[in-house]
Chains A and B, each alone.
Chain A
Amino acid sequence: MNDRYYVSRHVQQRRTKIIVSVILLAGSIILLLPLWWMISTSLKSMDEIMQYPPTFYPHEVHWENYIEAWHTAPFTRYALNTLLICAFSVTGSVLSNSFVGYGFAKIHFRGRETFMSVVLATMIIPGFVTLIPQYVLFSKLGWINTYLPLIVPPFFGSAFFIFMFRQFYMTIPNELVEAAKIDGANHFYIWFWLMLPMVKPVLATVAIFSFNGAWNDLIGPLLYLNDEIKYTLQIGLQNFRGLVQTQWHYLMAASTLVLLPVLTIFFVFQRYFIEGMNLTAGMKS
């Protein structure tokens, strides 16, 4: 009796496992298909793309699509411009947010909690509410058609990253800071020499997130950059579509190239994405 109970339970568990495996497998095929389709289309000839019934993989591989697409527009220049913006954005984000986050986590000062709630509250402000006045501000400063509106703001912190750093600093025992203070260190010394080496995972996470943010940013460059020579990959790609229309092989080749760095970073630094998510999870309360 007892035995049969366990056996049937075992069988049932196995059945559940098989069903879940099948669903998981089907799900991942569905999720990977769009990427496969992008790469496969990027390698086809236009004739093969138009062919009916369509082919699920390129029967004739055209690597030259990539070279031709890349040279149809000044993509090399766009890529360099984008990398420059990314470099400033990453540096600014990492420095400012690790600094401010430390202040909120490890130093006692009047109004700290109030300021922290203001930091969090700013996250619900829709970007477009401040976008227009910011545009006005930057145009009065004469910053239009320069990279300044894109690379200066990251040096003044962002609510989400400050929160991530604060969460992580708070897991570091206060005794460490106190001990260093007794040894005569001030907070700047403690932040730079003691804390930064300890928060490397968050530094990496914030670096990756801000790189992705700057790499994928469309609104900023669209608003502030006028000269084609200053364009980034995102606007470049957007204009490229107007140029090649529905020559999907070129469009998909260029898109693949633009996505490639982000994909590479994702696969190499996967654990930092998950780290970031776990820190975000701390926000729910």
Chain B
Amino acid sequence: MNRKTSSIRQREEVQGYIFILPWLIGFVVFVLGPLLFSLYGSFTNYNVTSRMDFIGLDNYKRMFTGDPLFWISLYNTFYYVIFMVPLTTAGSILMAVLLNQRMPGTRVYRTIYYMPSVLSGVAVYMLWMQILSPETGLLNTLLRLIGIEGPAWLFDPAWTKPAIIIMKMWSVGGGMLLYLASMQGIPTQLYESADLDGANAWHKFRYITLPMITPVIFFDLVTSLIGGFQIFQEGYVMSQSGDGGPMNSLLFYNLHMWNKAFEVFDMGYAMAMAWILFVIVMIFTALNLKYSRNWVYYEGGDNR
């Protein structure tokens, strides 16, 4: 009897490993192996074809002291993240609050607000390049209607990044759905008892809604920070032939890495850059996790 149960358990174990095997293989071949390769590669002068000599910290030294474009690309990326993350978070919370009012037509509005976020790829960048086009674009046309002469957007180094952030704001609806789902889970009794105490809309938002959605805010912050640091396509497609735009103002970190890796095949250097980005992302995620204890509220209090 005992032997039989243990053999059943064993068979269960084996089946379990078989089920996760596809992922395990993929993890080793496409993630773990590449991670180790790029870690070692970052200390070499690897160029795919001929050489892979160990050169110690040279790549890292060159990055911090001998490559002004590295700093420019880092600055551009931080600029984008610092504005994009709070703006999209606030934008999607605001949208969710509006859509959470029980009103006729909210289903239609929900669809309209969510739709832009499912559209992506080159076609969307083309669409925005037309909208942002200084002479014939929609944005400057609208601005002219109210008597403002709009900037040249993608052609003016001071306005390229704000232009990209405006484009990103178009698709905040993705986050909105997450907030909306969370808001609809808040017990109505909480609002009813607040009504009895004479609370106004702002109080209800500040002291009931906001604390209850902090887990989603936390999740949203973590994912949009990770995503934000990886911005690439916007810079690649929306600057002429991926050159980083006027005065390198759209040369994001990953675009610089891409050019190093696949334009000049300085792959050792590019892998070193990749690891620095990885470290930056890890630091921000860790900070987020650490400070989340102070402001994220979990129902039931099991701070998991």
Contacts and interface: CB of A to CB of B under 8 A. Distances in A.
Same complex origin of A and B: yes
Interface of A: 16-17, 20-21, 23-24, 27-28, 31-35, 37-38, 41, 49-50, 53-54, 96, 99-100, 102-104, 107-110, 112, 115, 118-119, 122-137, 139, 153, 155-157, 162, 186-188, 191, 212, 215-219, 223, 234-235, 237-238, 241-242, 246, 248, 251-252, 254-256, 258-259, 262-263, 266-267, 270, 273-274, 277-278, 280-281, 283-285
Given A128-B274, A133-B41, A156-B29, A103 B138 contact: no
- The interface residues of chain A, by DSSP majority, are classed as helix
A112 B219 contact: no
A102 B35 CA distance: 27
B38 A133 contact: yes
> Which of B17, B23, B111, B254 has the most A CB atoms < 10 Å from its CB?
B23
A125 B122 contact: no
B121 A219 contact: no
Nearest to A115: B20
A124 B201 contact: no
Contacts of B120: 212, 216
A128 to B, nearest CB: 5
B167 to A, nearest CB: 9
Given A100-B23, A252-B127, 14 more contacts: A31-B113, A34-B170, A37-B127, A37-B130, A104-B19, A110-B13, A115-B20, A127-B230, A132-B41, A134-B30, A277-B174, A278-B181, A281-B182, A285-B215
A203 B130 CA distance: 37
B12 interface: yes
A237 B19 CA distance: 40
A285 B214 CA distance: 11
A129 B35 contact: yes
Contact of B114 (A248, A273, A283): A273
A128 B178 contact: no
Nearest to A54: B141
Contacts, number: 257
Interface stretch (B57-65, B157-165, B276-284): B276-284
Interface residues of B, number: 93
A73 to B, nearest CB: 13
Nearest to B99: A24
17 contacts: A24-B99, A24-B109, A99-B19, A108-B16, A127-B230, A129-B35, A129-B275, A129-B278, A133-B35, A133-B271, A157-B26, A237-B122, A251-B126, A252-B126, A256-B123, A263-B115, A270-B111
B229 interface: yes
Given A24-B98, A49-B136, A156-B25, A283 B219 contact: yes
A248 B17 CA distance: 54
A96 B178 contact: no
Contact of B23 (A21, A157, A254): A157
A266 B120 CA distance: 12
